Amino acid sequence: MMEKTHTGAQSLLVPGADRRLSSPSAARNIAPILAVLRQHMPARGAALELASGTGEHSVQFAAAFPEVEWTPTDVDADRLASIRAWIAASGLANIQPPLVLNAGWEEWPVAPASLDVLMVVNLLHLVSEAVVQRLFTGAARVLRPGGRWFLYGPFLRSGVYASEGARRFPQQLVGQDPAIGYKDVDTMADLAAANGLTIGHRHDMPANNLMLVLQAATG
């Protein structure tokens, strides 16, 4: 089964001598992601990134927002080693060692209402609908009132692909595992509402991706 319940990507990974892995897609999308985060990120607080993968995004988030305490996560041993190596090389004080966490778990090793920020990049199209539902339940549980969830990736728009070219990749995914594939923005809005979350902002991103900024109720 192809489903990646937490490691998050099938993209090419380039190994380094110190166990750091690098993803070309991560290098491409970090600048537009940071541009959106700068519009909505709280001045300080606790942030957790699900499916951190190589870890290179994690250290760039921590560098860009030094008053936010970041915790990366993954379940794959090689990616966890890469995250640790990126953290060690960064010298940053506001990033914790990676936490072993699978977004599809029904119970996460994270205290309820303990996070100001949740970050998820390029995960939903690689997991099943059942995992997405558990992800929304988990996010609602761990976010503080008013906490923000940044959800980045490719989505359907009311059942429609963003472009004809955008149709090819998900067809390949579904061909390998019928349980996965692009999720619809309308479904995300429904799941958000069912879990006490709202989509406050929606940003069009390069390569037909979207950034959804969800927020937990304030009271």
Query: How does residue 161 score in pLDDT terms, banded at 50, 70 and 90?
Result: confident
Q: How far apart are CA 36 and CA 163, in angstroms?
A: 22
Question: Do residues 79 and 155 lie in contact, with contact meaning Cβ atoms separated by under 8 Å?
Answer: no
pLDDT, the chain, mean: 90
Q: How many CB atoms lie within 10 A of CB 83?
A: 30
In this predicted structure, what is the pLDDT of residue 64? 98
Q: Is pLDDT above 70 for 170?
A: no
State the burial class of residue 218 (Cβ atoms within 10 Å of its Cβ: 0-12, 13-18, 19+): exposed
Q: Is pLDDT above 90 for 150?
A: yes
pLDDT digits (tens, 9 = 90+) for 81-135: 999 999 999 999 999 999 999 999 999 999 999 999 999 999 999 999 999 999 9
- Of 10-14, 58-62, 139-143, where does mean pLDDT reach its minimum? 10-14
Closest CA to 129 of 66, 78, 174, 193: 174
In this predicted structure, what is the pLDDT of residue 94? 98
Q: What percent of the chain has pLDDT over 90?
A: 75
State the burial class of residue 132 (Cβ atoms within 10 Å of its Cβ: 0-12, 13-18, 19+): buried
9/76: higher pLDDT? 76
Question: Which is it for strands 197-204 and 183-184: parallel, antiparallel or unpaired?
Answer: unpaired
Sign of the C-alpha dihedral, residues 123, 56, 21, 168? positive
In this predicted structure, what is the pLDDT of residue 172? 66
Q: What percent of the chain has pLDDT over 70?
A: 87
- Of 37-41, 166-170, 179-183, where does mean pLDDT reach its minimum? 166-170
In this predicted structure, what is the pLDDT of residue 179? 82
Q: How would DSSP label each residue in 39-80?
A: HH--SSEEEEEES-TTSHHHHHHHHH-TTEEEEEEE--HHHH
Closest CA to 87 of 115, 52, 119, 116: 52
pLDDT digits (tens, 9 = 90+) for 3-45: 344 433 445 677 776 889 998 888 899 999 999 999 999 999 9
Q: How far apart are CA 24 and CA 167, in angstroms?
A: 21
Q: What is the mean pLDDT of residues 44-68?
A: 97
Q: Is pLDDT above 50 for 1?
A: no
